[in-house]
């Protein structure tokens, strides 16, 4: 198996190559995820109710993180246009979708980011922005982001791999931890994370290697205690499993850990987590307006089983669609489950 994976390594940078690796399961004796779901009565997997509209506004980022499933970085040119943003607004205007989750890359680097947030705020939508923290300090034009977020009552979800510099910088780059601490203090200064402010500041933790995250409740307590040493407070912490997609999949293959990691995910399969997978209540929109069941499927270019572009948005068809599954889905159903909002059980 490892030899065949090495031969495929040159293809991993493309979605087709990633799918080929994910589908190459016979020699490691892993049942297909579809069969697993059928065994517990969840195949075909159907949406429950679309409540979250997650929009990737571009793959440009000021960081190049080791395990980024988006393969984001400063050299990426994919950026959502204002026209596509307007199509997103028009699509959800008269629906019951109340939460819009903005991601990237660093979503703030999209030149129309602030306009998009302002328009969504006018609609009365609950807005989540997935902020890598260092963007706030990357350029003076971003220094006022905490105040902008406060003005529009944005729920800031911030990436912080760990509460020490060594582990954070190993995953995200030299100096990232110190910059993240400064940015968190700036968010605290305008009220984020503070009791009674109504300004929600959440953190995201994901493992630095090929293993499942620890207990989310325990991690939250640890992070709160350690970050208080820097006079930093926050609301919740989301523990997210690394899925075998993009850079993390390449890491698994190059370090010959793919087989072990996939077996770990399969052995930790949790039927309760399977019932609560995020693709059942979330719809993912790519920078170019195509629709996906989740942002991991987006990176593999597995479009929805329904009209697949925002220009032909059909909420009824999307509610009835079969959700597309593949081997990477084991990551969302392992242990306590994993979603963009952390553990699902």
The string of DSSP codes covering 64-106 is --TT-TT--BTT---B--HHHHHHHHHHHTTSS--EEEEESSS
Residue 117, pLDDT > 50, answer: yes
Query: Where are the chain's structural domains?
Result: 2-332
Distance CA 158, CA 203 (A): 5
Give the largest CA-CA distance in the chain. Answer: 56
Write down the pLDDT at residue 22. Answer: 80
Model confidence at 3, in pLDDT bands (50, 70, 90)? very low
Distance CA 23, CA 21 (A): 5
Cβ neighbours for 151, distance < 8 A, ≥ 6 positions apart: none
Distance CA 44, CA 313 (A): 22
Mean pLDDT of the chain: 93
Residue 183, pLDDT > 90, answer: yes
CATH code for the part of the protein at 2-332: 3.20.20.70
Angle, CA 274 vertex, CA 272 and CA 278 arms, to 5°: 115
Write down the pLDDT at residue 284. Answer: 98
Q: Label residue 29 left, alpha or beta by phi (over 0 means left) and psi (-120 to 50 means alpha).
A: left
H helices of 152-282, in order, are 165-172, 176-189, 216-228, 246-254, 258-267, 271-275
């Amino acid at each position: 198996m490892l030899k065949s994976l090495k031969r495929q390594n040159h293809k991993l940078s493309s979605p087709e190559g990633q799918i080929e690796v994910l589908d190459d399961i016979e020699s490691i004796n892993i049942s297909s995820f579809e069969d697993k779901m059928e065994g517990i009565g969840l195949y075909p997997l159907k949406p429950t109710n679309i409540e979250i509209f997650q929009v990737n506004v571009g793959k440009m980022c000021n960081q190049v993180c080791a395990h980024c499933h988006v393969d984001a970085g400063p050299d990426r040119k994919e950026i959502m246009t204002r026209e596509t943003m307007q199509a997103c607004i028009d699509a959800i205007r008269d629906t019951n979708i109340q939460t819009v989750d903005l991601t990237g890359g660093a979503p703030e680097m999209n030149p129309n980011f602030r306009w998009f947030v302002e328009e969504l705020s006018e609609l009365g939508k609950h807005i989540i922005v997935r902020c890598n923290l260092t963007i706030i300090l990357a350029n003076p034009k971003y220094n006022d982001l905490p105040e902008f977020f406060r003005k529009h009552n944005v729920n800031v979800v911030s990436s912080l791999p760990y509460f020490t510099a060594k582990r954070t910088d190993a995953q995200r780059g030299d100096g990232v931890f110190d910059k993240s601490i400064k940015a968190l203090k700036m968010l605290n200064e305008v009220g984020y994370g503070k009791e009674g402010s109504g300004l929600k500041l959440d953190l995201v933790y994901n493992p630095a290697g090929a293993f499942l995250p620890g207990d989310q409740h325990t991690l939250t307590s640890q992070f709160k205690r350690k970050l208080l040493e820097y006079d930093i407070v926050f609301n919740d912490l989301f523990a997210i499993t690394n899925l075998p997609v993009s850079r993390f999949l390449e890491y698994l293959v190059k370090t010959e850990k793919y087989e072990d990691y996939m077996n770990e995910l399969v052995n930790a399969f949790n039927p309760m987590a399977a019932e609560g997978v995020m693709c059942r209540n979330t719809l993912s929109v790519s920078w170019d307006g195509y629709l996906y069941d989740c942002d991991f499927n987006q990176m593999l270019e597995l479009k929805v089983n329904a009209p697949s572009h925002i220009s032909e948005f059909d909420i009824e068809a999307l509610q009835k669609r079969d959700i597309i599954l593949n081997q990477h889905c084991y990551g969302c159903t392992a242990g306590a489950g994993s979603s963009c909002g952390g553990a699902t059980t």
